[in-house]
Amino acid sequence: MAHAVKDLFPEVKIGIGPAIEEGFYYDFEKPEPFTPEDLEKIEKRMKDIIKKGNPFTRKILRKEEAIELFKRAGESYKVELINEIADDYVSIYEEGSFIDLCRGPHIPDTSKIKAYKLLSIAGAYWKGDEKNKMLQRIYGISFDSEEALNRHLHFLEEVKKRDHRRLGKELGLFSMSEEIGAGLILWLPNGAIIRKIIEDFWRDEHIKADYKILYTPHIAKLELWKKSGHVEFYSENMYSPMDIDGVAYELKPMNCPFHINVYQSELRSYREFPLRYAELGTVYRYERSGVLHGLLRVRGFTQDDAHIFCREDQIEEEILNILNFTIFILKKFGFDKYDIYLSTRPEKFVGSLENWEKATNALKRALELKHLSYEIDPGEGVFYGPKIDIKIKDALNRSWQCSTIQVDFNIPERFNLTYRGHDGHEYRPIMIHRALMGSLERFFGILIEHYGGAFPLWLSPTQVIVMTIAERHNEFAQEINKILKDSGFRVLADLRNEKIGYKIREATLKKVPYMIIIGDREVARKTITVRKRNGENVEAINIFDFINILKGELTN
């Protein structure tokens, strides 16, 4: 691809072009933006290069030689990269008239390339640093057959159809505003209804599971975050402190220090354990503008957070309880496939090696007792402890990080947490951090894409629309509407003087699960005709029989 770009646009300077999980990309410095028509030209030129069967030839050069070579070619980005390489020698590859800096290896020659497609153009800062120049990045994909390529292109079309940003706008779920700020979400009425349903379900199930629900502030003194270790280990994700009456305060990036303060509000006894605190707490974390992405990467989000204080001998049982609870919650939302990872000690950490070993082993044993297969993710634990991460699979088999369970021996020490044991002595509690859905915003984005906006009945903001064929049917439609509302369903009445086909199309686009159509026959017989959003029609039935069908669907 880079060879084709240089042939067509000789003035272009080339940056970095790696293979990635979803294909490949290359970054270019070009005065004018690439256009979709340019991509077509580049693809055509690539085809010509492939036909030639040019071999990929590897050469080893001294750094000085390589620098001189790329200086002569005017490739300043390559010169910069070579200067950063510690070795005395570097490898380059030649392919026809094109030369590039690369470690390799490569296929023998260009004729081995069977099927490819250039997908998109995006901006990208050189080396990912927003202080550097903005380059143009061309993304592409390659497969060993046209059939495999076409399957992937079909998959990408399905991804595009399910994009939560598009569906969020079409279905009135959420929006963002430059006036308010990047990465900050406005929940629109339909999205707010779904959020309420999720939150109500979450709180009810936590109360059943013996959690105590908390609410905590959005800011706290900077000293609290120093004591917790966040300033030392997490400062790049925190906002600048604000001055209030001469005291520095900080927007909270996490909820844990608040829950610790609730724990410290009373003297604690071993009889209270395990002590489980849960909160839907809104936190604020700095994300670079380049990585913000709809609901999936934001700056302000609500975390379904919980912290459990327990004795050391209760750790395994609590982790097992959390694993069971997590699987139950995820299944309720339609996720029954997932990958599990056990993340171990990172390079920067707090606490003793002995405690890290204890915590890691406790997580391992719980997974094994539950007969859950998992992979070790070395060095990916948080600074205060190891963790279990659960990545759910959506309808397109894509993985999403959601649930996390983290054992923490360290923060209880930093805050000098204690409890009175059965022998009257003071002991240190163990703290377990856990989130089941993660961020509500992100989880909602995943839900939108998983269902393609066609939410199951229990989550749909509008469950039924009652629509009339003519104005003379309005009175009976309003009776039906009232019966459904009184039975606890979310229902709307469409009594507009519009053609019934138009009303059906509009309700289908809004992905409403059920449409009730009222005409002369329905009024005369005191029945309803029901149409599902997939186009399937239900025979004329009594409204109360239909309510029983709805209730049955809700309990499944």
**Per-residue pLDDT at 351 exceeds 80:** no
**Per-residue pLDDT at 107 exceeds 80:** yes
Clarify whether residues 121 and 234 are in a common domain: no
**Among residues 78, 387, 531, 533, which one is catalytic?**
387
**Among residues 78, 195, 252, 433, which one is catalytic?**
433
Half-sphere exposure of 46 (CA within 13 A, CB side): 18
Clarify whether residues 267 and 301 are in a common domain: yes
Name the residue with higher pLDDT: 540 or 158: 158
**Among residues 3, 285, 299, 345, which one is catalytic?**
285
Clarify whether residues 73 and 101 are in a common domain: yes
**At 530, which CATH number?**
3.40.50.800
Cα 284 to Cα 442: distance, rounded to the nearest angstrom? 14
Can you say how many angstroms the Cα of residue 73 is from the centroid of all Cα atoms in its chain? 42
Q: What is the pLDDT of residues 199-233, one digit of tens each?
A: 999 999 999 999 999 999 999 999 999 998 888 88
Clarify whether residues 175 and 133 are in a common domain: no
H-helix segments, 273-415: 315-332, 353-369, 411-414
**At 106, which CATH number?**
3.30.980.10
What DSSP element (H or E) covers 36?
Answer: helix 36-52
Clarify whether residues 157 and 180 are in a common domain: no
8 A C-beta contact, residue 230 and residue 224 = no
Clarify whether residues 107 and 75 are in a common domain: yes
CB atoms within 10 A of CB 396: 12
Clarify whether residues 90 and 229 are in a common domain: no
**Among residues 252, 299, 303, 510, which one is catalytic?**
303
Is residue 217 assigned to a domain?
yes
Residue 131: predicted pLDDT: 87
Is residue 414 assigned to a domain?
yes
pLDDT above 90 covers a percentage of the chain that reads 88
**Among residues 307, 473, 503, 510, which one is catalytic?**
307
**At 281, which CATH number?**
3.30.930.10
Is residue 343 assigned to a domain?
no
Region 409-425: mean pLDDT is 91
What residues make up the domain containing 534? 464-555
Q: Which two tokens stand for residue 543?
A: 């409204």
Name the residue with higher pLDDT: 357 or 194: 194
Is residue 371 assigned to a domain?
no
Reply yes or no on whether 285 is catalytic: yes
Task: Identify the band that residue 109 occupies on the pLDDT scale cut at 50, 70 and 90.
Answer: very high
Is residue 367 assigned to a domain?
no
Region 286-314: mean pLDDT is 93
Reply yes or no on whether 307 is catalytic: yes
Clarify whether residues 139 and 173 are in a common domain: no
Q: Which two tokens stand for residue 421?
A: 């044991």
Is residue 348 assigned to a domain?
no
Region 428-454: mean pLDDT is 95
Task: Identify the band that residue 409 occupies on the pLDDT scale cut at 50, 70 and 90.
Answer: confident
Clarify whether residues 153 and 174 are in a common domain: no
Cα 161 to Cα 294: distance, rounded to the nearest angstrom? 15
Residue 173 φ then ψ, to 5°: -95, -45
Clarify whether residues 445 and 493 are in a common domain: no
Is residue 481 assigned to a domain?
yes
Clarify whether residues 281 and 429 are in a common domain: yes
User: Measured in Å, how far apart are the chain's first and last C-alpha atoms?
Assistant: 52
**Per-residue pLDDT at 3 exceeds 90:** yes
Domain total in the chain: 3
Domain boundary among 163, 179, 206: 163
Clarify whether residues 323 and 439 are in a common domain: yes
Cα 115 to Cα 96: distance, rounded to the nearest angstrom? 20
Domain boundary among 451, 473, 508: 451
Domain boundary among 451, 475, 502: 451
Three-state secondary-structure class, residue 280 = strand
Residue 539: predicted pLDDT: 80
Is residue 188 assigned to a domain?
yes
Reply yes or no on whether 256 is catalytic: yes
**Among residues 305, 389, 408, 494, which one is catalytic?**
305
